[in-house]
Structure 1
Amino acid sequence: MTTSPTGTAGAQPASAGFVISERSALLRAETALFMRDHVLSLVSHDLRGPLNAIHSWAYVLERKLDANDPNSQRAITGIRSGVDQQVKLLETIVDTTRAETKSLALTYEPFPLHPLLAETVEEVRAGLARARGVEVRLDSQIATEQLNGDRARLAAALWLMLTFAVEASARDAEVALAARADNGTWHASVTYEPNEAALNDAALPHMLEAFARKQAGEPREAKRIAWVFALCKRVAEAHGGSFEQSDSTEAGSVTATPATLVLRVPFSAAVPK
């Protein structure tokens, strides 16, 4: 399964000389959908703490204020009402909107892993990587191993990991996908040397939206991933696995390391009841 760099009927142009194939366009849209829901989840989580604190302090203030002062009581009522309205918005708009990817439906079936790896690497090579002059290398220790899971979803996660690494790489750089089996788990690791100029240069071909690429270069809180990798994280966790993003260390340091994206999935993920 490969994707032509010239695209197919109905594909949309990304920049001069580069056309996005129909499959890549679909994967880009799915990436945006999962990213939207991931951001909504963060908003919902991060707003509830301050809102709960405001609600609690309102009770503290109420005990300190004169119960016979109508202005004070009106202020307290306004504070509580405002908090309740915000919580309701989170429940009815934010939480409801992200429900589509919160409960991810998977189609479980056993499939060989090596063809999936080879097909996905070739797909990224033939599309964005060739247009950007970036080499994509597959270093796989996977032979005949099979995984019981959703092949299409896992292919999308791998595609996104490789695509972002290509987006973040300078011309003539190399992106490597390493795959191995360890204690009943499939490990897929993408390594690359991030280049901020290449990631955000509007003159270069790009697959991912500009705001997603820009946010990926901003500082992240501990254990949080860049928004653009929400699909990878959700797919991994739905299979009982995990996804990790590690930034590179400074190029001039003695212990300089490339950036890594790691997907871990059990070979026999339990099918949810």
Structure 2
Amino acid sequence: MTTSSTGIAGEKPVPSGFTVSERTAHLRAEAALFMRDHVLSLVSHDLRGPLNAIHSWAYVLERKLDASDPNSQRAVIGIRNGVDQQVKLLETIVDATRAETKSLALNYASFPLHPLLDETVEEVRSGLARTRGVEVTLDSQLATEQLNGDRERLAAALWLMLTFAVETSAQGTTVVLNTKADTSAWHASLAYDTSSTALQDPALPHVLEAFARKQACEPREAKRIAWVLALCKRVAEAHGGSFEQGEATGGDAAGGNMATLALRIPLSATAAK
């Protein structure tokens, strides 16, 4: 079954007892929390390599230096102690701070996928897309498929994908959500015409933080995702699935760049090991 929608009559009920504005604020805070922890994870990972190298070179220096020279030995000990202090800071502050999202607790239950899509799409339309003049369409090949997973977490991931796509879309463009299920997994992919100007224009309404939007425009190293999409990646992996941010490619004659986001979740999701 294939459906295409450009609007849903009336307001959809907002899960968890939130009004639309309250839920948007809650989801925005969740996205910021996961982004913070994602950045801390990158800092922890990227600092350990240089620190390990410094520690190793300290041993090389120690063997080369005069063992009877107290100043040389004091310098080597100072280098080692400095490295140890930095590693301890990473373990006690950086790693401990991100523990909340590092081990993500999920509430598993079986639920139908199509209502989740309808609710989330309308939530993004009401919360941002209509005021930005961006159309959000749903192209669904789902029928009555159900998924065993954490509905609220998956709704948050889908909301963030859609919101990010709307944020980076210029007025008059369309964000297309394609979704289907095969024998083992649910697939949700977004295609949108990305514009760094629209993403950062202070005159436009925004949901995501300015810092996150600015970082999302910077070149991506080693195909890392934009920091603001960390929640999507973490929720997908916690369900044993995956999340990918595609590279923008040259678009139409107007100079647009088409970009994609893709979420894959096993229909019978189980906690990732």
Same fold per superposition (TM over 0.5): yes
Q: 2:205: which partner in 1?
A: 205
Counterpart code for 1:247? E
Give, in angstroms, the shift of residue 109 of structure 1.
0.3
Counterpart code for 2:244? E
Rounded Cα–Cα distance in structure 2 between residues aligned with 1:223 and 1:141: 29
Kindly indicate whether the alpha-carbon contact (under 8 Å) linking 2:238 and 2:271 is maintained by their aligned counterparts in 1: no
Distance 1:271 1:75, change over 3 A: closer
Give, in angstroms, the shift of residue 94 of structure 1.
0.1
Distance 1:257 1:211, change over 3 A: closer
SS at match of 1:258: strand
Counterpart code for 1:214? K
Name the Cα RMSD after superposition: 1.9
Rounded Cα–Cα distance in structure 1 between residues aligned with 2:187 and 2:242: 10
SS at match of 2:179: strand
Residue 207 of structure 2 corresponds to residue 220 of structure 1: no
Q: 1:15: which partner in 2?
A: none
Counterpart code for 2:173? A
Give, in angstroms, the shift of residue 272 of structure 1.
6.7
Aligned residues: 258
- The runs of at least 4 aligned residues of structure 1 exceeding 3 Å deviation read 1-4
Gaps of 5+ in 1: 5-9, 12-19
Matches within 5 A, 1:1-273: 2=12, 21-251=21-251, 258-271=258-271
Kindly indicate whether the alpha-carbon contact (under 8 Å) linking 2:12 and 2:119 is maintained by their aligned counterparts in 1: yes
Rounded Cα–Cα distance in structure 1 between residues aligned with 2:65 and 2:262: 55
Kindly indicate whether the alpha-carbon contact (under 8 Å) linking 1:108 and 1:271 is maintained by their aligned counterparts in 2: no
Give, in angstroms, the shift of residue 221 of structure 1.
1.4
TM-score, normalised to structure 1, is 0.91
Distance 1:174 1:252, change over 3 A: closer
Kindly indicate whether the alpha-carbon contact (under 8 Å) linking 2:238 and 2:272 is maintained by their aligned counterparts in 1: no
SS at match of 2:194: coil
Rounded Cα–Cα distance in structure 2 between residues aligned with 1:88 and 1:145: 48
| Greater Cα shift, 105-114 or 174-183 | 174-183
Rounded Cα–Cα distance in structure 1 between residues aligned with 2:94 and 2:271: 28
Distance 1:128 1:145, change over 3 A: same
SS at match of 1:143: coil
Q: 1:218-261: CA deviations, max 9, x gaps?
A: 011123100000000000000000000012212369xx972000
Rounded Cα–Cα distance in structure 1 between residues aligned with 2:183 and 2:145: 12
Rounded Cα–Cα distance in structure 2 between residues aligned with 1:215 and 1:3: 33
Counterpart code for 2:90? L
Distance 1:40 1:131, change over 3 A: same
SS at match of 1:214: helix
Give identity over the alignment, percent: 75
SS at match of 2:244: strand
Kindly indicate whether the alpha-carbon contact (under 8 Å) linking 1:3 and 1:127 is maintained by their aligned counterparts in 2: no
